[in-house]
């Protein structure tokens, strides 16, 4: 017996795209922050940008969760999308 997979609306995929964009921004900032040659003012600036990005990530994730989660079946689809996003982040970080 084949189980029908319920998909989320395309409008929510925009929210995932925005979350992915902010994840990529956070990773980029973190890589720059780890540079041992940063001057103190650059270090402080990057730390502030990372903090702002973390707040932004939290807001995006919270909004996405509030708008998309609702039906237990959708949770399975979200897990697959989350795994895909996690793999993309790892690939970006490893490059």
pLDDT tens digits, residue range 21-69? 999 999 999 999 888 898 999 988 988 899 889 888 888 787 777 776 6
pLDDT tens digits, residue range 64-75? 777 766 544 444
User: How is the chain split into domains, by residue range?
Assistant: 10-67+81-94
Give backbone dihedrals phi and psi of 52, rounded to 5 degrees, phi first: -65, -40
30: tokens are 């973190």
Measure the CA–CA gap between 77 and 40, rounded to whole angstroms.
44
pTM more than 0.85: no
Measure the CA–CA gap between 27 and 85, rounded to whole angstroms.
13
């Amino acid at each position: 017996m084949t189980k029908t997979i319920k998909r989320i609306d395309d409008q929510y995929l925009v929210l995932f795209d925005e979350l992915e964009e902010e994840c990529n921004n956070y990773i980029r900032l973190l890589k720059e922050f780890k540079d041992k040659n940063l001057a103190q003012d650059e270090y402080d600036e990057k730390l502030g940008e990372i903090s702002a990005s973390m707040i932004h990530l939290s807001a995006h994730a919270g909004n996405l969760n509030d708008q998309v989660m609702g039906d237990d079946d959708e949770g399975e689809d979200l897990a697959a999308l989350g795994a895909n996003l996690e793999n993309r982040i790892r690939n970006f970080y490893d490059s």
